[in-house]
Amino acid sequence: MELRGVEELMDLLHACRGARDTPGRCGGRVDLHDHALQTAALLRRSRPADKELQVAGLVHALGQLLRPADPTGHTDLAADLVRPLLGERVSGLVRHHSGGYAHDAETDDLLSLRHAHEAGRVVGIDAGVLEDWRTVLELVAAQHSRLGAVD
């Protein structure tokens, strides 16, 4: 699977609504769509200047939607999926969000992401809507996308 742009990414994030039956899923009792919005909103509050980190929070759980039966491979899947559109840093944050080795330079960012991912599981909280993130996604994609860069 390959993402061809922000619109396809948004479609995929919309498809996370209602995804709550996966064993060991990221969002706990909260569905993946709400978990993604809550994680991103928490990062927007704690790290307001870091759009890439916020976007990593928004997309970090996509692998669970695409391959729900593979709890170990889903982070790599999501990281590989978003890399061409959102760049190496977002991809790396997604890849390592659930633990394991991190480069020193990544540590603070990963801790922030992991904290938001743990905290973003509150049932019934209003964390906004996906449309709020379109501009930020387009900004990060415009900075990093290799799509269309060859001309």
Residue whose CB is less far from Fe ion, 56 or 61: 61
Residue 97 C-beta: closest distance to Fe ion, Å: 7
The footprint of Fe ion (CB under 5 A) covers 26, 61, 117
Residue whose CB is less far from Fe ion, 114 or 144: 114
- Whole-angstrom distance, CA of residue 15 vs CA of residue 10: 9
Residue whose CB is less far from Fe ion, 68 or 146: 68
Residue with tokens 């922000």: 6
**Cα 45 to the chain's mean position, in Å?**
16
- Whole-angstrom distance, CA of residue 107 vs CA of residue 113: 10
- Whole-angstrom distance, CA of residue 136 vs CA of residue 134: 6
Q: What count of other Cβ atoms lies within 10 Å of the Cβ of residue 89?
A: 18
Residue 151 C-beta: closest distance to Fe ion, Å: 37
Residue 12 C-beta: closest distance to Fe ion, Å: 15
